[in-house]
Amino acid sequence: MQETSSDTPLARPPYSAIAPIYDKMMSHVGYKRWAAYIERVLKKEGFSDSGPFLDIGCGTGRFISEMRQLGFEGAGCEPAADMLGMAKKRLPKHTFYLTGLPDLAPIPNDTYHIATCLYDTLNYLEDRDAFINSFKRVYELLAAPGIFIFDVVSPAHCKHYFQNYVDSEVVDDLYSYYRESHFDDAEGLQYNTIRVFAPDGIFEETHVQKIFQFETIKHLIKDNTGFELSGCYEDFTFDPAGKKSGRAHFILKKNS
């Protein structure tokens, strides 16, 4: 039997080993800013009083928590059980579903008029069919009138910030991590490998994201779904997103 070194990391699925330290790893993310922007979008589109919303890919529930401070009640879904467990601890009285795109099978149709999918969660869908099937599933799920707000990052963003990027941090007395990132421009794939040093061992996760051009996503929506594209805005603004934009917020509406 071949021996395994104690220093050899054990492969884990994305968002499992990092779940206990995810909030600290993402301490740079302004969730209050995200919530304030989504509130502005909902008011602009006439959905500020449309009842509870569904946050797809809710992670540890921080965005839902911030929206709650603004008066919005939210449910969440997340395919990574460890992350969902953290969300349930944060918001024990809220509804959560263990599922992700494009499936969303346990979530009842016609329950939510508002759905969000934020911080480039949609980039984890690895091909066009997965994007199309996800849009169709969210359209089916939403009650009418409905609104779906999501964002994606651009190839320009990945080339600027994550081409051969390295990051590491000692999180606390128990955890530390080391991250390497690489963007394959030819394939449009963003790779993030995260090694977590934890009390019970060393673990490694590989995250892969598909980075489409914004125009490609617009065509996928227009040609394959019943959604109306109400807006495609640059980073936290209401200015149209372009080729040089790092992030685009897409606003899709279900009118009937």
Q: Degrees (nearest 5) of the Cα angle 143, 145, 150?
A: 80
Identify the residue whose tokens are 């346990």.
106
Angle subtended by helix axes 81-90 and 62-69, to nearest 10 = 30
Same domain, 35 and 90: yes
Return d(Cα 200, Cα 154) in angstroms, integer: 37
Q: What is the 3-state secondary structure (H, E, C) of 120-170?
A: CHHHHCCCHHHHHHHHHHHHHHCCCCEEEEEEEECHHHHHHHCCCEEEEEE
Same domain, 84 and 66: yes
| Whole-number pLDDT of residue 4 | 44
| Whole-number pLDDT of residue 1 | 32
Same domain, 149 and 165: no
| Whole-number pLDDT of residue 51 | 87
Is 14 part of any domain? no
Domain that holds residue 199: 157-209
| Whole-number pLDDT of residue 6 | 63
Question: 227 and 253 in contact (C-beta within 8 Å)?
Answer: yes
Same domain, 163 and 38: no
Same domain, 45 and 170: no
Alpha-helical (H) ranges within the chain are: 22-25, 31-45, 62-69, 81-90, 128-141, 155-161, 214-224
Closest CA to 53 of 64, 43, 37: 64
Closest CA to 116 of 59, 61, 50, 54: 54
Return d(Cα 58, Cα 198) in angstroms, integer: 24
CATH of the domain at 83: 3.40.50.150
Structure tokens at 194: 């995260």
| Whole-number pLDDT of residue 73 | 94
| Residue spans of the chain under pLDDT 70 | 1-6
| Whole-number pLDDT of residue 256 | 77
Domain count along the chain: 2
Same domain, 226 and 106: yes
Same domain, 79 and 92: yes
Is 132 part of any domain? yes
Same domain, 71 and 134: yes
Same domain, 170 and 218: no
Same domain, 112 and 224: yes
Is 228 part of any domain? yes
| Whole-number pLDDT of residue 50 | 84
| Whole-number pLDDT of residue 85 | 98
Same domain, 186 and 243: no
Is 7 part of any domain? no
Same domain, 34 and 140: yes
Is 11 part of any domain? no
Residue at 101: amino acid letter: L
Structure tokens at 187: 């394939």
Is 229 part of any domain? yes
Is 76 part of any domain? yes
Return d(Cα 207, Cα 140) in angstroms, integer: 28
Is 15 part of any domain? no
CATH of the domain at 197: 2.20.25
| Whole-number pLDDT of residue 189 | 97
